[in-house]
Amino acid sequence: MLAPAAEALGVRFSVLAETADAPATQVISEVTVGDYTDFATLKAFAETVDVVTFDHEHVPPEHLQALAEAGHAIRPGPQALIFAQDKILMRAKMDDLGLPNPAWATITSVADAEAFAERVGLPFILKTPRGGYDGKGVRVIEDLAEVSDWLEEMPQLLAEEKVDFTRELAVMVGRSPMGQTAVWPVVETWQQNGVCKEAIAPAPGLPADKATAITEAILKVAGALDVTGVMAMEMFETPEGFLINEFAMRPHNTGHWTQDGAVTSQFEQHLRAVLDLPLGSPAAREEVSVMVNVLGADHEDLYQPYFHVMAHDPAIKVHLYGKSVRPGRKVGHVNAYGYDRDSVLARARHAADFIAGVDVDPYPDIPAPTHLAADDEKETL
Ligand SMILES: Nc1ncnc2c1ncn2[C@@H]1O[C@H](COP(=O)(O)OP(=O)(O)O)[C@@H](O)[C@H]1O
Ligand SMILES: [Mg+2]
């Protein structure tokens, strides 16, 4: 999804892909197939470009450090990226910066887990510090017996209190090497079994002072870590405020709505930021934008249902990734936007479910958009 943005910006773009049939190879002509954990492969690739960036966090930090020391422009730099790679280092950094963390502890023994359970009670959350995504690497611990088998596989785990959140939120910023920043509106997100399913922009009913505190927090992190590119901050909203969950330093699922709903998409902004170009406006184009993921279900061939959705709702935007369908796998997303949240949400949910093959009415009853009665009502949205 970075490729169309690169093309529009007139930027030569090449990819180091894991396999010859990785989705990126379908849309990028300059492809090197190689292992991103192998230093020689990374080094040879870095020699061919001016700037190196990422679409996941799993490149070994020590390799990135060595490339940066050899003079390659790695953006975001390893000194920042490490806090999106390692959740224990991230928790400690948030404490240093005085930003709101849930209660947490590093767990290296069953005794540590017992002490943590005494502090916060059961159940609590246990995470692998590195390598997790889509809820893989996150467990709810109901019984301390579940800790020991995991400790055998991994020397260090991160324990967190199980936050009783009212909802999950996310926010994204773009930041360039010259230090320019642009923050998109805060969104409400919904994770199903640890997998992002929906994002609503802006987060419905979020009080302005909370949105400001969240914006200030992400700007503080971006500045303190000298982040370049786009960064997402996931949060838990609580009645008192918010707690930080984690960071991603790349275009992120909770920012997909910006492709159709914001003046500048996260993909364009990421390239502008890593290339040290002036940033684009992060303003929303519409009152409400909704992104719903298409998670693999019954349809293996997504074309026929896609065809129907396009005909049924010409204003919906469907983005498919060219991945083979597996149950629960993210294979695409849809964006809908407009001025009436209930209607936009219903349209986006229906389109995503219908494409995936969830058993839904092909011709659903979508609530008609309610027209805004007066200008003062518009201001409260
Ligand atoms: N401390 C916590 N309390 C309650 N729920 C949590 C906690 N940590 C994670 N979760 C839930 O699990 C999801 C995935 O956890 P996260 O740390 O974001 O992992 P991933 O790297 O897989 O996205 C979160 O979006 C949230 O729904
Ligand atoms: Mg997450």
* Exposed/middle/buried for residue 335 (C-beta within 10 Å: 0-12, 13-18, 19+): buried
Q: What does the pLDDT look like over 4-35, one tens digit per residue? A: 999 999 999 999 999 999 999 999 989 999 99
User: Is the pLDDT reported for residue 183 higher than 90?
Assistant: yes
User: Tokens 């209190």 label which residue?
Assistant: 161
Taking the centre of ligand 1 as the mean of its atom positions, its distance from the CA of residue 121, in whole angstroms, is 18
Q: How far apart are CA 235 and CA 247, in angstroms?
A: 9
Q: What does the pLDDT look like over 228-243, one tens digit per residue? A: 999 999 999 999 999 9
The dihedral formed by the CA atoms of 265, 266, 269 and 274, expressed in degrees to the nearest 10: -160
At residue 372, the pLDDT reads 55
SS3 100: coil
Taking the centre of ligand 1 as the mean of its atom positions, its distance from the CA of residue 194, in whole angstroms, is 6
**Which residues make beta-bridge pairs with 105?**
159
In three-state form (DSSP H/G/I as H, E/B as E, the rest C), the secondary structure along 306-338 is HHHHHHHCCCCEEEECCCCCCCCCEEEEEEEEE
Q: What's the gap between Cα 113 and its chain centre?
A: 29
- Overall fold of domain 167-379: D-amino Acid Aminotransferase; Chain A, domain 1 (3.30.470)
Q: How many CB atoms lie within 10 A of CB 251?
A: 28
- Confirm if 3 and 28 have CB atoms less than 8 A apart: yes
Taking the centre of ligand 2 as the mean of its atom positions, its distance from the CA of residue 76, in whole angstroms, is 19
User: Is the pLDDT reported for residue 50 higher than 90?
Assistant: yes
At residue 371, the pLDDT reads 60
The tokens describing 26, both together, are 């379908």
Q: What does the pLDDT look like over 283-334, one tens digit per residue? A: 999 999 999 999 999 999 999 999 999 999 999 999 999 899 999 999 999 9
Q: Mention every residue, 6+ apart, whose C-beta is less than 8 A from residue 374.
A: none
Q: What does the pLDDT look like over 112-166, one tens digit per residue? A: 999 999 999 999 999 999 988 888 899 999 999 999 989 999 999 999 999 999 9
Mean of pLDDT values over 172-192:
97
User: Tokens 């020991």 label which residue?
Assistant: 148
Q: Which amino acid would we find at residue 275?
A: L
In three-state form (DSSP H/G/I as H, E/B as E, the rest C), the secondary structure along 259-271 is HHHECCCHHHHHH
Q: Which residue, among 217, 277, 222, 284, has the nearest Cα to 249 in the 3D structure?
A: 222
What are the extents of the domains in the chain?
A: 2-84, 103-161, 167-379
Q: How far apart are CA 235 and CA 126, in angstroms?
A: 17
* Exposed/middle/buried for residue 308 (C-beta within 10 Å: 0-12, 13-18, 19+): middle
Taking the centre of ligand 2 as the mean of its atom positions, its distance from the CA of residue 233, in whole angstroms, is 9
At residue 380, the pLDDT reads 46
Report which protein residue has its CA nearest ligand 1's atom 19.
135
Own/partner long-range contacts of 60-64 (Cβ < 8 Å, ≥24 apart): 61/85, 61/86, 63/37, 63/39
Ligand nearest to the CA of 141: 1
Mean of pLDDT values over 88-109:
98
Phi then psi dihedrals of residue 357, to 5 deg? 105, 20
Taking the centre of ligand 2 as the mean of its atom positions, its distance from the CA of residue 374, in whole angstroms, is 39
The tokens describing 108, both together, are 């290296």
Q: How many CB atoms lie within 10 A of CB 276?
A: 16
What lines the ligand 1 site, CB under 6 Å?
102, 125, 127, 132-135, 137-138, 160, 162-163, 168, 191, 194, 234, 245-246
Angle between helices 61-69 and 39-47 (to 10 degrees): 40
User: Is the pLDDT reported for residue 375 higher than 70?
Assistant: no
Phi then psi dihedrals of residue 368, to 5 deg? -65, 140
Which residue out of 245, 247, 254, 293 has the highest number of ligand 1 atoms within 8 Å of its CB and is therefore the one to mutate? Answer: 245
The tokens describing 4, both together, are 């169309």
- Confirm if 160 and 140 have CB atoms less than 8 A apart: no
Mean of pLDDT values over 356-377:
76
- Choose which CATH entry (3.30.1490.20, 3.30.565.10, 2.10.25.10, 3.30.300.30) describes domain 103-161: 3.30.1490.20
Q: 2-84 maps to which CATH number?
A: 3.40.50.20
The model carries a pTM of 0.95
